[in-house]
Copies of this chain bind each other. A is one copy, B any other.
Amino acid sequence: MQSNVYDVTDWRTSRRAPVDATHDIGAVINSIIADVKTRQTNPEDKPGAVIYIPPGTYSLKTRVVVDISNLTIRGSGHGFASLSIRYNSDTTGWHELNPGGSRIKVENTDGASEAFLVSRGGQPRLGAIAFENVCLDGVSFGVNQNSYRNGKVGIRFATDNDSVRVRGVGMVYLERGLVVQGADALDVSGNFIAECGNGIELLGGSQATTIRGNHIGAGPVGFSIFAENSNGLLITGNNVFPRGIDSIHLKNCFRTNISANRLHSFYPGSITLEGSCKENLISSNMFERQVESYGPFIGVGNGLTDDVGVVQINGDGNTVTANHVTLIIPPEQVAPAGGIPAIFRVVQGDQNVIGANHVISNLDVRTVVLEAGTTNSHVYDSGTEAQFHALSTSYGFRATP
C-alpha cells in the first residue's frame, strides 16, 4: 500500500513533480494532491493525506489549489522574523535576515494572489483540512516596506467548509493572511500572524468558529481579526499587537464571545461592532491604548479620532463587562485636538449593557458614551457620573462607588 504521507522534498526524485520544491513548492503540492486524487477515487474511502514540509526555504510560484477533504499540510516551524525591524534597521552583520522554519516564499508567477486556495464545488463542503506550522512569507511590500500592500494572500478558503484547522502557522508580510469564506466549526489556534495587512478574515457568514490562542498584529491598513455575518464565534486567549485599524472588527455578527484576550492598539478603536451586531459578549479583556513609539510608524494612523470609542457598538443586546481599559495618550496627540476620548461608545442600538468595567487614563475621558437614538442602555460600575456622556435619555445608569 502506498503511503498517504508525502514529503515535498522527496516527491520529485522518486516521482514526477515538474520541479524541485525549492523552486516551486506550489507545483509540487499540486502534483501531490493530483496523486492523492488518482489513488483515492472511492467516495466511501478517501482518508486524505499529509503533506510534510521540512524546514527549508521554498519558493511558491504556482498557487496551490486544495480541492480534497482530509488534507493536512504540515511544516516544522512558523519561522517568524520581523521584517519591519529589519527594513527599518541597519542590518550589517546580522546573523540572519529572513523568516525561516518551513518557509514558503509567496512569489506567485501565475497571476494568482493566493499561496493556497481552498475551493471545491459540489457536495459535501470540504472538511477536515488542516494547515499546521508552516511559514507563509509574503517576502516584500515593495518600494515601501511599511505599506502592508502587495496583493498577496496566505490562505484563502473560497467555498464553504467544515471542521477545518489552522494551527501553529506563521504568516508575515502578506496583504491578507488567512481569509475564510463560509466556515463551520473552524479552529484557528496557536498561530503567529504578524506584519500582515489583515490577519484573519471570516467572510460570507460562518458559525461556531473559534479563534484561540493566537499572536496577531495587523498593519495600519487592516484588521487583526475581521468577521462578518458570523454566529457563535469564540475569540479567546489571543494576544493582539498593534497596529491594525482595529484589533477585532465585527460586522453584522451575532453572539460572538470575545473573552480573555489582550488587545493592544496605537490608534483610536480596538473593538468595533459595525452595522447590526447583536448580542455579542465582550468580557475579561485587557485593552491597552498607547501611542506609536516606533520611528518608522510615527505619524501613521488609521484616520480615526479618539472619540470613536475604544469599543464601539452598533446593534442590539450586546454586553460589555469585566474589562480593563488603559488609555494613555499625550494630551497633544489626542485627535481631534481638544477632543475627549471615548472608551465604550454605543452608537446605535437597543438593550446594550456596559457594566463592571474599569478604565484608567491620563486624560479626562468619557468612559461611556450613549449616542442619540440609543435606547434602553444599561450602564453601571464603569466610571463616574462625570465620565458618563448620554445624548439619549433612554438608559439606566449607576456610577462606580
Contacts and interface: CB of A to CB of B under 8 A. Distances in A.
Contacts of A283: 260, 283-284, 322, 324
Interface in A345-384: 351, 353, 355-356, 358, 360, 378-381
Interface string A277-288: 001110111101
Interface stretch (A49-57, A140-148, A266-274, A303-311): A49-57
Contact of A379 (B74, B96, B162, B401): B401
A76 interface: yes
Contacts of A69: 81, 95-96, 100
Contacts of A243: none
A255 interface: yes
A392 B68 CA distance: 59
Contacts of A100: 46-48, 69-70, 128
A289 to B, nearest CB: 11
Given A232-B262, A379-B401, A208 B212 contact: no
Contacts of A323: 281
Size bin of chain A's contact surface:
35 or more
7 contacts: A69-B95, A69-B96, A78-B163, A185-B239, A279-B360, A281-B323, A317-B326
Interface stretch (A109-117, A119-127, A197-205, A329-337): A119-127
Contacts of A102: 47
A98 B5 contact: no
B189 A185 contact: no
A1 interface: yes
Contacts of A48: 55, 77, 79, 100-101
A376 to B, nearest CB: 11
B95 A122 contact: yes
The count of identical subunits is 3
A44 B86 contact: no
Contact of A185 (B241, B316, B401): B241
B101 A120 contact: no
A4 B50 contact: no
A251 interface: no
A89, A101, A232, most chain B CB atoms within 10 A: A101
A285 to B, nearest CB: 7
A176 B401 CA distance: 43
B70 A79 contact: yes
Interface string A1-25: 1011100010000000000001000
B358 A241 contact: no
A329 to B, nearest CB: 15
Contacts of A34: none
A312 interface: no
Interface string A169-209: 01000000000000001010110101000000000000011
Nearest to A352: B358
Nearest to A94: B123
A266 to B, nearest CB: 13
A281 B279 contact: no
Contacts of A379: 401
Contacts of A356: 321-322, 355-356, 381
A72 interface: yes
Nearest to A21: B1
